[in-house]
Amino acid sequence: MPFSMVLLGLMNNYGYFRLDSWYLILIVPAMLISLLASISVRKTFDQFNRRTAASGHTGQSAARSILNKNGLTNVVIERVAGNLTDHYDPRTQRLRLSESTYGSSSIAAIGVAAHEAGHAIQHNEGFWANSLRSTLVPVARIGSTVGPYLALFGLILQISMLTGIGIVLFSAAVLFYLVTLPVEFDASRRAIRVLEEQGMLTADELTGARRVLRAAAMTYVASALLSFASLLRLILLSRGRSGRK
C-alpha cells in the first residue's frame, strides 16, 4: 500500500477528515488559483507563440545578445527537451532553453529567453533576493519534503514537539517560495527593459512579451499562496489540537 494511503487512513481514523475544515477553506481555493494560473500561462504563451517578432531574433539569439551585452560571454546556452522548461543553472552557468523557445522567433519565445538571461545577470550582479534564495535551497528541499509529514504525524500521534519541528522546517520552504517572487519579478523587469533598449521587439510586441511574463509570474504567486495556505493550515490544526487537550 502506498505511504500516502497509510497516512490518509491514519488521519481518517483520528478524525481529521471530520475536523479539518481548513483544507476546504484554505487549500482548495489556493489549488484552484494555481490551476487557473497554469492554464493562463499556457494560453497566453500559445497566443504570442504564434506571432513572429519583426527583428527575426530567436530565443537563443536574443538570450546570447543580452548575455554578451552584459559581459556574460562565458554563459553557455543549451537546448533542452520539453515546453516551458526554460531555466538558468547558476552552478554550471548554463542557460537552458526549451524546444519551444530555443529556435523560435515568436514574441513569447524571445520574452521567455530574455527573462532567463535576466536570471543570469542577477546571479552575476549578486542580486540580494537571488542570493538569499540560493542560500535557502538546501533547507527548503528538506522542509518541503519532510516538514509536512513530520507535522501531520505529530498531530496524529499528539506529539507537539514533532509537530513544531515539522512546521519550522516547512516554514523554510514557504520562505523560499516567497523570496522567489522578487527574483522572478525582477528578472521580468530586466527582460522587458533590455528588449526595448536593444530593439529586439517593437512597442506592440513588447506588450505581448509583458503579458507572457506577467502570466508566468502569476504561477509563482499561486505557488507561494498554496505553500503559505498549507503552512497556515498546519498551524491552525496544531492550535486546534492543543486547545482540545
pLDDT, tens only, 19-47: 468 888 999 999 999 999 999 999 999 99
- Are 137 and 125 within 8 A, CB to CB? no
**Residue 242 confidence class, pLDDT cut points 50, 70, 90:** low
**Dihedral through CA 179, CA 183, CA 186, CA 191, nearest 10?**
-160
Residue 243, pLDDT score: 52
Per-chain mean pLDDT for the chain = 90
pLDDT, tens only, 37-83: 999 999 999 999 999 999 999 999 999 999 999 999 999 999 999 98
The residues, ordered by sequence, that sit 6+ positions from 134 with a Cβ below 8 Å of its Cβ are 90
Where in the sequence numbering do the catalytic residues fall? 116
pTM score, two decimals?
Answer: 0.86
35, 115, 173, 174, 223 from 212: Cα distances, Å: 17, 10, 27, 25, 17
The residues, ordered by sequence, that sit 6+ positions from 243 with a Cβ below 8 Å of its Cβ are none
Query: Does residue 130 register a pLDDT over 80?
Result: yes
Helices (H) and strands (E) counted in the chain, each on its own, are: 11, 3
The 8-class DSSP code of residue 96 comes to: E
